[in-house]
């Protein structure tokens, strides 16, 4: 091996891509007032300005924008449902294949790279970024929705929202189907979407030596053109999806946390209180982002993990313990049984469920994938592909099964066995608290629930700011700190503007709409992953 | 009086380091002590290098060049940081322990308003390191 090749290689052997591009070569290093900047030209400017313009337009024309984006989302999920479902199946199959084939032996960062984080810290970060908040809200409500629609008399008719043909009048089967459908949306498929993006980024950055930014994945396809406008567009799209996704979640999250506080302490929900919640969450996120990856994001994710585990353990112990433990295995079985028919993209009669739930979820996960994938990639150097997929796909899926069983199973059992209907009557954001209300120590657990919701938002917001900052700095991770402060504040501001002006729903629909182009991008990424892995030493 | 000098270097801006490097070399010859040059890198590809290993070989080459040019006894140390914009200060402190140096010579920029909010690296080291720190402007 020549000196040159040896010098380029990462820890141990790897197949580095030989490109003239230098990380940060298109960056502008300037100072605005007293603050130094190191930003990618033109990704930073285009995404920043377009987001501002977009927010203004949405606010100015919200009466037209809302229906327009909702129609767009509806059209996309109903016309392209087969595409989303098929693509997600491809991602799951690719991941499972990578675990069992010799390609799983490839180590991210080269054959001798060592992991940078312990299993617990690593897992906490990827879990908090990946789902966190959704589990808090859908953990109770989604199993109930699917159970009720499957159990209802009209289940299986064209108007019904039941998964597959439903199980009209059959309580046991409706329960199994409801849990299987929920786990389907929170199990292997979403995590496979994240795993594909994260694996592609980690591979092309740590093993191939390209900058840590979305465009690098496309080097095998577009070659040197990724450093030009093709790449600018890909990166800008990724910034959009991330910022809109984060801002809308932040807005909705404030509404939901506020609803919880009202339920618990009787705080009235006003615009002012929501704005204060967003400011509060953003302030904590700022502290975390300025404290850095290790002292801020990682530590908060670990705190989060402990709190979530406490809540899960509590519900398991004081709830119907035996039922939950039996339910875990029963639901795994139901998931396995229904998985082939639920993931089948063609020839199904459950249009409402397939398009309104599944395709919507897939588009939503995919629009989040640049953010979550990039963050997971950032912390996964030194893992083998097999280890990586096990921890990003299999373990989180099992945790989701357990979580859904504990929260959703307990709620369904309250409805079925105790005739407690308040939980099914409550609004979406209150279901968790209404369910906890039936268990002992409700004040404490509900409070814990609210804290968890808020901390999950903080971890999304701080890791999101890191990701946007890295993309808009052309893949540099050592850009000046004020830049990430800027993005964290910007997220909060966009959320506040949309919360007050209306249009959160419109923007969420817009974010979901970015899921369609990204699905194509992800399918290309699958090809790039396989092509990239084959040339790696194992 | 001193045993070893530590000089943090930013290879991306090596051109701005000349004054600090000259100062360190002069001190090194005066006290007849070795200099250890410390470079900090993230694990992700950056402007200087694609991988930590490439970074290290570039730093080694830089140090070899310095030693030959200035006639001093020089060594190098590469430190890896997860989040260099934030962890730089602490990484430098741990490098100080590792090298066993008792004098730091480092370049700094002219302080401005941000220094009131975000401490400068040299400033941090001067207030937290147990050894003498010479900040070169």
Helices (H) and strands (E) in chain A — how many of each? 23, 2
- pLDDT score, position A446: 87
A–B CB contacts, 8 A cutoff, strictly below:
92
Give CA–CA dist A356/A299, Å, rounded: 37
Q: Exposed, middle or buried by CB within 10 Å (0-12, 13-18, 19+), for A36?
A: middle
Q: Give the residue on A whose Cα is nearest the Cα of B88.
A: A478
Q: Is B110 on the interface with A (CB under 8 A)?
A: no
Q: Is B50 on the interface with A (CB under 8 A)?
A: yes
Give CA–CA dist B103/A300, Å, rounded: 36
Chain A neighbors of B46, CB-CB under 8 A: 23-24, 476-478
Chain B neighbors of A35, CB-CB under 8 A: 114
> Looking at chain B, how many residues does it have?
137
Residue-number span of the structural domain to which A215 is assigned: 3-534
Q: Is the dihedral of CA A15, A18, A21, A22 positive or negative?
A: positive
In a mutational test of the A interface, the residue from B39, B48, B51, B64 whose CB has the highest number of chain A CBs within 10 Å is B51
- pLDDT score, position B118: 52
- pLDDT score, position A433: 87
- State the pTM of this model: 0.88
- pLDDT score, position A139: 86
- pLDDT score, position A1: 30
Q: Give the residue on A whose Cα is nearest the Cα of B53.
A: A10
CA distances to A514, B17, B43 from B14, rounded to whole Å, are 42, 5, 20
Q: Is B1 on the interface with A (CB under 8 A)?
A: no
- pLDDT score, position A132: 67
Whether omega for the bond prior to residue B58 falls within 30 degrees of 0, making it cis, is no
Biggest CA pair distance of chain A: 75
CB contact under 8 A, A475 and B57: no
Chain A neighbors of B82, CB-CB under 8 A: 116, 292-294
Angle between helices A119-130 and A188-202 (to 10 degrees): 120
What value, to the nearest 5°, has the Cα angle with vertex B77 and ends B74 and B82?
A: 160
Give CA–CA dist A67/A177, Å, rounded: 33
Give CA–CA dist A355/A257, Å, rounded: 29
Q: Residue A344 contacts by C-beta under 8 Å, 6 or more apart in sequence?
A: A85
CB contact under 8 A, A22 and B47: yes
pLDDT in tens, B69-127: 988 999 999 988 888 878 888 888 889 999 999 999 988 765 444 444 555 677 788 88
- pLDDT score, position B119: 54
Cβ-nearest to B86 among A16, A35, A292: A292
Q: Give the residue on A whose Cα is nearest the Cα of B46.
A: A23
Alpha-carbon distance B39 to nearest alpha carbon in chain A (angstroms): 14
CATH assignment of the domain containing A145: 1.20.1740.10
Q: Is B87 on the interface with A (CB under 8 A)?
A: yes
Residues of chain A whose beta carbon is less than 8 angstroms from a beta carbon of chain B are: 7-11, 16, 22-25, 33-36, 109-110, 116, 205-206, 209-212, 290-295, 378, 381, 475-482, 484
- pLDDT score, position A7: 37
CA distances to A308, A318, A429, A440 from A435, rounded to whole Å, are 16, 12, 11, 11
Residue by residue, DSSP assigns B67-118 as HHHHT--EEEEEEE-SSHHHHHHHHHHHHHHHHT-SEEEEE-PPP-THHHHS
Cβ-nearest to A292 among B53, B58, B83: B83
Domains by residue range for chain B, with CATH: 5-136 (3.40.50.620)
- pLDDT score, position A12: 62
Q: What is the pLDDT along chain A (538 residues), one digit of tens a residue?
A: 333 333 334 466 667 777 767 777 777 776 665 566 677 778 888 888 888 887 788 778 777 777 887 888 888 888 999 999 999 999 999 999 999 999 999 999 888 888 888 888 888 888 877 766 778 878 888 999 999 999 988 887 888 888 988 888 888 999 999 999 999 999 999 999 999 999 999 999 998 889 999 989 888 888 888 888 888 988 888 888 888 888 877 887 787 788 888 888 888 888 888 888 889 989 998 998 888 888 888 888 888 889 999 999 998 998 888 989 999 999 999 999 999 999 999 988 888 899 889 998 898 889 888 888 988 998 899 999 999 999 999 988 999 999 999 999 889 988 888 888 888 888 877 888 888 888 888 888 888 888 888 888 888 888 888 889 889 888 888 888 888 888 888 888 888 887 777 767 777 777 778 888 889 889 988 998 998 898 888 7
Contacts 24+ apart (CB under 8 A), A45-50: A46/A232, A46/A236, A47/A235, A47/A236, A47/A239, A47/A240, A47/A243, A47/A472, A48/A472, A48/A490, A50/A236, A50/A240
CB-hemisphere CA count at 13 Å for A222?
19
Q: Is B43 on the interface with A (CB under 8 A)?
A: yes
Chain B neighbors of A294, CB-CB under 8 A: 82-83, 87
Q: Residue A358 contacts by C-beta under 8 Å, 6 or more apart in sequence?
A: A81, A84, A85, A184, A185, A342
- pLDDT score, position A335: 95
- pLDDT score, position A4: 36
CB contact under 8 A, A481 and B46: no
| Percent of chain B topping pLDDT 90 | 33
What value, to the nearest 5°, has the Cα angle with vertex A358 and ends A357 and A359?
A: 100
Give CA–CA dist B95/B131, Å, rounded: 13
Task: Give yes or no for a contact between A75 and A366, defined as CB atoms under 8 angstroms apart.
Answer: no
Task: Give yes or no for a contact between A29 and A38, defined as CB atoms under 8 angstroms apart.
Answer: yes
Task: Give yes or no for a contact between A208 and A532, defined as CB atoms under 8 angstroms apart.
Answer: yes
Q: Is B127 on the interface with A (CB under 8 A)?
A: no
Alpha-carbon distance A470 to nearest alpha carbon in chain B (angstroms): 11
Task: Give yes or no for a contact between A393 and A127, defined as CB atoms under 8 angstroms apart.
Answer: no
Alpha-carbon distance A319 to nearest alpha carbon in chain B (angstroms): 41
pLDDT in tens, A371-430: 889 889 988 999 999 999 999 999 889 999 999 999 998 899 888 888 888 888 888 778
Chain A neighbors of B42, CB-CB under 8 A: 477-478
Give CA–CA dist B94/B63, Å, rounded: 20
CA distances to A48, A119, A353, A491 from A511, rounded to whole Å, are 16, 32, 21, 14
DSSP H or E segment with residue A354: none
pLDDT in tens, A429-462: 788 888 888 888 888 888 888 888 888 888 888 8
- pLDDT score, position A461: 85
Domain count, chain A: 1
């Amino acid at each position: 091996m020549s000196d040159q090749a040896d010098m380029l290689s990462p820890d141990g052997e790897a197949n580095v891509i030989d490109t003239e591009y230098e990380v940060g070569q298109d960056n502008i290093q300037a100072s605005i007032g007293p603050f130094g900047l190191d930003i990618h030209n033109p990704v930073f400017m285009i995404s920043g300005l377009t987001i501002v313009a977009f927010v203004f337009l949405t606010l100015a024309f919200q009466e037209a924008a809302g229906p327009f984006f909702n129609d767009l989302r509806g059209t996309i999920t109903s016309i392209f449902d087969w595409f989303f479902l098929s693509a997600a199946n491809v991602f799951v199959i690719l991941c499972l294949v990578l675990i069992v084939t010799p390609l799983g032996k490839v180590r991210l960062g080269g054959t001798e790279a060592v992991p940078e984080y312990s299993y617990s810290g690593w897992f906490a970060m990827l879990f908090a970024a990946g789902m966190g908040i959704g589990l808090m809200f859908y953990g109770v409500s989604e199993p109930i929705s699917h159970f009720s629609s499957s159990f209802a008399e009209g289940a299986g008719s064209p108007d019904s929202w039941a998964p597959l043909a439903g199980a009209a009048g059959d309580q046991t089967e409706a329960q199994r189907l409801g849990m299987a459908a929920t786990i389907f949306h929170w199990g292997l498929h979403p995590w496979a979407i994240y795993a594909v993006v994260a694996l592609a980024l980690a591979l092309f950055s740590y093993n191939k030596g390209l900058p840590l930014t979305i465009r690098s994945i496309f080097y095998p396809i577009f070659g040197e053109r990724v450093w030009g406008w093709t790449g600018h567009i890909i990166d800008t799209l990724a910034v959009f999806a991330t910022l809109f996704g984060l801002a809308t979640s932040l807005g909705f999250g404030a509404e939901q946390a506020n609803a919880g506080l009202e339920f618990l302490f009787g705080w009235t929900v006003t615009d002012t209180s929501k704005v204060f919640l967003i400011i509060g969450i953003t302030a904590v996120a700022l502290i975390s982002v300025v404290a850095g990856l290790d002292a801020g994001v990682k530590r908060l994710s670990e705190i989060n993990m402990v709190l979530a585990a406490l809540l899960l353990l509590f519900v398991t112990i004081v709830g119907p313990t035996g039922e939950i433990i039996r339910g875990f295995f029963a639901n795994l079985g139901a998931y396995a049984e229904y998985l082939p028919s639920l993931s089948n993209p063609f020839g199904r009669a459950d249009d409402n469920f397939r398009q309104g739930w599944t395709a919507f979820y897939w588009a939503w996960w995919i629009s989040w994938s640049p953010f979550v994938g990039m963050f997971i990639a950032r912390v996964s150097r030194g893992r083998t592909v097999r280890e990586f997929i096990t921890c990003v796909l299999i373990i989180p899926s099992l945790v989701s099964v357990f979580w859904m069983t504990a929260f959703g199973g307990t709620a369904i059992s309250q409805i079925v066995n105790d005739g407690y209907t308040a939980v099914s009557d409550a609004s979406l954001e209150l279901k968790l608290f209404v369910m906890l209300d039936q268990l002992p120590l409700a004040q404490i657990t509900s409070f814990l629930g609210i804290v968890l919701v808020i901390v999950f938002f903080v971890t999304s917001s701080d890791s999101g700011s890191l990701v946007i900052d890295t993309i808009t700095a052309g893949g540099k991770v050592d850009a000046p700190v004020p830049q990430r402060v800027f993005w964290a504040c910007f997220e909060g501001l966009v959320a506040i503007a949309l919360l007050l002006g209306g249009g959160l729903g419109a923007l969420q629909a817009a974010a979901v709409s970015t899921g369609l182009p990204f699905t194509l991008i992800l399918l290309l990424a699958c090809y790039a992953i396989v092509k990239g892995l084959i040339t790696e030493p194992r | 009086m001193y045993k070893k000098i530590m000089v943090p270097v930013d290879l991306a801006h090596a051109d701005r380091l000349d004054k600090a490097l000259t100062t360190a070399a002069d001190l090194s010859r005066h006290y007849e002590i070795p200099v250890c040059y410390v470079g900090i890198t993230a694990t992700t590809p950056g402007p200087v290098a694609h991988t930590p290993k490439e970074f290290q070989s570039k730093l080694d080459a830089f140090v070899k060049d310095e030693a030959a040019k200035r006639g001093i006894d020089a060594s190098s140390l590469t430190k890896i940081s997860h989040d260099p914009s934030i962890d730089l200060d602490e990484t430098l402190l741990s490098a100080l322990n590792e090298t066993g140096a008792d004098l730091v010579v480092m370049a700094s920029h002219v302080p401005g308003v941000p220094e009131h909010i975000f401490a400068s690296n040299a400033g941090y080291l001067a207030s937290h390191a147990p050894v003498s720190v010479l900040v070169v402007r």
